[in-house]
Amino acid sequence: MAARILAGMTAGLAAGTAVTAANPARAEIAALVIGIDRYTRINPLQGAVNDARDISAALKGLGVKKLRLFIDGEAERSRIIAAWRELIAETSPDSTLVLTFAGHGAQQPERVPGSEVDGMDEFLVLADFAPRGPGTAQRLTDDEIAVLLKEAAPRRVIFVSDSCHSGTMTRGFDDRAGMLGTRAAKIDGAPVDRIEEDALPPPTRAALQAEADDQPHVTFFAAVAEHELAPEVMIDRKPRGALSWAFANALRGQADRDGDGIVTKGELESHIRGAVRMALEGKQHPQVQPRGRGEIPLIDPVASRPKPPSLLPAAGPIPLRILGKPAAVKTLSAGLSGIEPAGKDDPALVWDSASGEVVSSMGDVLASIAGDPMAPETRRRVQGVIDKWSLVVRVKAAAQDRSLALALEPGDRNYRQGETVSLDIRGNSGTYFTLINLAADGTVNYLYPLAERSDPAQIPKGGPYRLALTVEPPFGADHFLAIASPKPMAALQRDLAALDGKPAAAEVATLLTRHLTGQPVEFGIHGVYSTGR
């Protein structure tokens, strides 16, 4: 998709009330962390245990002593419930309790008619769950969880559920990327959506009331909306759930935007939404309840936010899998730089040399490069895709500590020629602003500010700022790179403008390092996907 500006940058400042919260004595944090990969009767997962261990390590880094960790078969219903109630008994009313679950979710028709808006009861699937008979007891239903959360009041509770139960993905998944799977429970490929010979009694009136009640002491993060699937993905070359990964990094200080040692609900929500969106290219949209209440402190203290060692991390090799005849693959690989061979389980990119398509690990077609794969021009264009992806990876890593929030309207999906998309930019502390686009083959499009449009170098703090674009060929993946700084960036802008229209992604990294090292800049990067079909 080639980006073409329809309307200039516009800023809208949302009205709001400044809230100054008192800073009481720092509250104790206790946690119950669950991660299940190995299920005895349903499809296994690969990243849930990694999630649980990562969150556990992050909590220990905060000095959390009262921590219960349940892995795989340890995650048994009665043990989990007992451990939660022990944490309540062991902590004072001003404590914070953290409950995280990484594993499968599922649903069943409501057991009490009229008790659910959608007619379905949701539940978390434990390791020895079976959909029929005694094994049906190995689950935690939504109404039971509501009771457990209510029992914790007035303690603050953060509940993170990295699971799903049904739905679709925002954009289709190209299976050449070797999808790890999703966190929706299945048996023989069919969703678990019905319980037979249920070993659990129907929910009591008190349990239904607990689910219906507002619980202001609870902040709930779900991996996806109810109509979406939560995929497992490769992050740092390990299978992971993106919500758990983002939450663990928040505990390590990445959510503490103002550096005061306290993470508020607003900071945590902003970090998780932005980090997951960026890591998964808009294919996953975490949900947060309740809405608002952004000033409420949730994690106090949080780990000291580490200072990034450099503006951009060093460029590492991109794991590339080439599809084709073995002899041709060896020749094609030898003609490319900045790569390392990858198997079908962990590629960052897949080049289908027969079709000419390059696919990302998230199953998106990044570029379609026609021509003989052995031809120098074809390989030059593939090299442009690799160079562009290397820059995307490096900027994403830098943006974890220097983040802008970018989003697309009307949504994250494949766009077609002639459609309009709006890029929404928020969360900037710096007011000097630069925006470029990296086309599918690494061609640089310099977008903002432009002298001929008399664009101001500065924009108001905080956003939102919206840039309207229309979809034009070539199709594939465009990535918008936004930069905000407290200082003018005239020299960087001049040099970036000189690259306009050139396949020069590798040179962009050099320019960013040259002009911005040592400055407290903020980055945002977001993919926009288009197709001619």
Q: Is 306 inside any structural domain?
A: no
pLDDT, tens digit, 9 for 90 and up, residues 427-437: 888 999 999 99
Q: Is 20 inside any structural domain?
A: no
Mean pLDDT throughout 510-518? 94
Examine the pLDDT at 13 and tell me if it is beyond 50: no
- N- to C-terminal Cα separation, the chain: 13
What is the identity of the amino acid at 21? A
**Based on the structure, what is the number of domains in the chain?**
3
For position 475, what pLDDT does the model report? Answer: 80
> In the structure encoding, which two tokens stand for residue 89, read together?
């008994």
Mean pLDDT throughout 114-134? 87
Q: Is the peptide bond before 290 cis (omega within 30 degrees of 0)?
A: yes
Mean pLDDT throughout 17-39? 72
The proportion of the chain whose per-residue pLDDT surpasses 70, expressed as a percent, equals 92
Note the residue count of the chain. 533
Whether residue 200 is found in the same domain as residue 179: yes
Q: Residue 334 is inside which H or E element, if any?
A: helix 326-334
Q: Kindly indicate the confidence band of residue 166, based on its pLDDT and cuts at 50, 70 and 90.
A: low
Whether residue 97 is found in the same domain as residue 221: yes
Whether residue 365 is found in the same domain as residue 512: no
Whether residue 213 is found in the same domain as residue 295: yes
Examine the pLDDT at 249 and tell me if it is beyond 90: yes
For position 116, what pLDDT does the model report? Answer: 72
Task: Output the CA angle 481-339-312, nearest 5 degrees.
Answer: 35
Whether residue 292 is found in the same domain as residue 404: no
Whether residue 75 is found in the same domain as residue 208: yes
Ranked by mean pLDDT, the top range of 6-20, 160-174, 188-202, 401-415 is 188-202
Prediction pTM value: 0.86
Asked if residues 34 and 511 have their Cβ atoms less than 8 Å apart, the reply is no
For position 327, what pLDDT does the model report? Answer: 86
Whether residue 204 is found in the same domain as residue 55: yes
Q: Is 401 inside any structural domain?
A: yes
Asked if residues 208 and 150 have their Cβ atoms less than 8 Å apart, the reply is no
Mean pLDDT throughout 72-101? 97
Least confidently predicted of 295-309, 327-341, 449-463: 295-309
Examine the pLDDT at 23 and tell me if it is beyond 50: no
Q: Is 526 inside any structural domain?
A: yes
Task: Output the CA angle 413-417-167, nearest 5 degrees.
Answer: 20
Q: Is 22 inside any structural domain?
A: no
Examine the pLDDT at 476 and tell me if it is beyond 90: no
**Cβ density class 425-447: b for 16+ within 10 Å, e for less:** bbbbbbbbbbbbbbbbbbbbbbb
Q: What is the mean pLDDT of the chain?
A: 87
DSSP 250: I
Q: Kindly indicate the confidence band of residue 240, based on its pLDDT and cuts at 50, 70 and 90.
A: very high
For position 237, what pLDDT does the model report? Answer: 82
Least confidently predicted of 62-71, 243-252, 273-282, 315-324: 273-282
Q: How many whole angstroms separate alpha carbon 115 and alpha carbon 532? A: 45
Residue 192, C-beta contacts closer than 8 angstroms, at least 6 positions apart? 42, 106, 125, 131, 185, 186
For position 1, what pLDDT does the model report? Answer: 38
Q: Residue 157 is inside which H or E element, if any?
A: strand 156-162
pLDDT, tens digit, 9 for 90 and up, residues 300-312: 878 776 666 678 9
pLDDT, tens digit, 9 for 90 and up, residues 74-84: 999 999 999 99
Q: Is 19 inside any structural domain?
A: no
> In the structure encoding, which two tokens stand for residue 196, read together?
């037979």
Whether residue 207 is found in the same domain as residue 262: yes
pLDDT, tens digit, 9 for 90 and up, residues 404-425: 888 888 888 888 888 888 888 8
Please provide residue 4's backbone torsions phi and psi, each rounded to the nearest 5 degrees.
Answer: -130, 125
* Domain boundary, last residue among 333, 358, 390: 390
Q: Residue 170 is inside which H or E element, if any?
A: none
Least confidently predicted of 15-24, 233-242, 492-501: 15-24
* Domain boundary, last residue among 361, 390, 419: 390
Q: Kindly indicate the confidence band of residue 87, based on its pLDDT and cuts at 50, 70 and 90.
A: very high
Q: Residue 476 is inside which H or E element, if any?
A: strand 476-485
For position 126, what pLDDT does the model report? Answer: 98
In this structure, the number of other CB atoms found within 10 A of the CB of residue 374 comes to 12
Residues linked to residue 405 through DSSP beta bridges, in sequence order: 426
Q: Kindly indicate the confidence band of residue 533, based on its pLDDT and cuts at 50, 70 and 90.
A: low
Q: Is the peptide bond before 473 cis (omega within 30 degrees of 0)?
A: no
- Please indicate whether residue 62 or residue 465 has the higher confidence score (pLDDT): 62
Whether residue 383 is found in the same domain as residue 438: no
Residues linked to residue 34 through DSSP beta bridges, in sequence order: 70, 101
Asked if residues 237 and 342 have their Cβ atoms less than 8 Å apart, the reply is no
Whether residue 407 is found in the same domain as residue 295: no
Whether residue 442 is found in the same domain as residue 516: yes
For position 465, what pLDDT does the model report? Answer: 83
Q: Is 307 inside any structural domain?
A: no
Least confidently predicted of 111-120, 151-160, 341-350, 377-386: 111-120
Q: How many whole angstroms separate alpha carbon 484 and alpha carbon 465? A: 12
Mean pLDDT throughout 46-56? 98
> In the structure encoding, which two tokens stand for residue 215, read together?
């619980």
Q: Kindly indicate the confidence band of residue 171, based on its pLDDT and cuts at 50, 70 and 90.
A: low
Mean pLDDT throughout 187-216? 87
Least confidently predicted of 7-16, 266-275, 316-325, 358-367: 7-16
Sign of the C-alpha dihedral, residues 211, 216, 218, 222? positive
For position 4, what pLDDT does the model report? Answer: 31
Q: Residue 352 is inside which H or E element, if any?
A: strand 349-352
Please provide residue 323's backbone torsions phi and psi, each rounded to the nearest 5 degrees.
Answer: -95, 130
Cα distances (angstroms) measured from residue 321 to each of 67, 318, 347? 41, 10, 6
Q: Kindly indicate the confidence band of residue 14, based on its pLDDT and cuts at 50, 70 and 90.
A: very low
For position 105, what pLDDT does the model report? Answer: 94
* Domain boundary, last residue among 353, 370, 390: 390
- Please indicate whether residue 426 or residue 494 has the higher confidence score (pLDDT): 494
| Residue 470 domain boundaries | 4-10+392-530
For position 532, what pLDDT does the model report? Answer: 67
Asked if residues 390 and 506 have their Cβ atoms less than 8 Å apart, the reply is yes
Q: Is 17 inside any structural domain?
A: no
- Kindly report the CATH number assigned to the domain that includes residue 193: 3.40.50.1460
In this structure, the number of other CB atoms found within 10 A of the CB of residue 281 comes to 26
For position 170, what pLDDT does the model report? Answer: 56
Whether residue 137 is found in the same domain as residue 40: yes
Q: Residue 383 is inside which H or E element, if any?
A: helix 376-399
For position 20, what pLDDT does the model report? Answer: 32
Instruction: Name the nearest CA neighbour of 302 among 26, 90, 56, 25.
Output: 26
For position 167, what pLDDT does the model report? Answer: 56
